[in-house]
Structure 1
Amino acid sequence: MGGFEHGFMMMNEHCPRGGELKITAQTIDGNRMLDRLLAIGSRLGVTRMEVEAKIETPDGAPPALRVIRYFGSSFEPMSEQQLIDFDRKQGK
């Protein structure tokens, strides 16, 4: 109620504010979400997940995205050119 759609980006890089994703025992379909993340593993690409979540920022603590409900997801692997560009950026 009163909410709107927006994105929260998680990247395989250190977040200077220490942001984190929280999937708790109260997360509806949280196990299905974790299974999906494990199936993707360390493959490089973009994972889009549809979730209902709340951004929490307790006093002085890093922000966290607490997932309330998981609806589904998709994964798009990097193209060959994107992998080349990624390796070049990493100095490989």
Structure 2
Amino acid sequence: MHSWTGLLPVHGVGTATMSARNASLTVTPDGSAQLVAIGDDGNVYHRIRNAAGSWSPFQPVAGAGGASTFSAPRVRIAALPDGSAQLLVTSC
């Protein structure tokens, strides 16, 4: 049986809490979770919570043509049965 831990702040990119314009979360078959968010700077960030409960830090999602960041107004993420995830970014 699982117990509710209550709401906890999400650590941001170099900050104690994440401030985001848009976010999406998905859970994969192994019990891990993936979180994507549009930061206040407009860039897409991604982090993973492993099945044991620890989180990776937010990392910027790379853009097209080798760009180190990718900006977008909306983002969604979906887990697939094989454990991978698909990221959808829209312009409106």
TM-score (ref. length: structure 2): 0.30
Q: Which has the larger radius of gyration?
A: 1
- When the two structures are superposed, what TM-score results if normalisation uses the length of structure 1? 0.30
Name the structure with the higher helix share: 1
* RCO comparison, higher one (Cα < 8 Å, 6+): 1
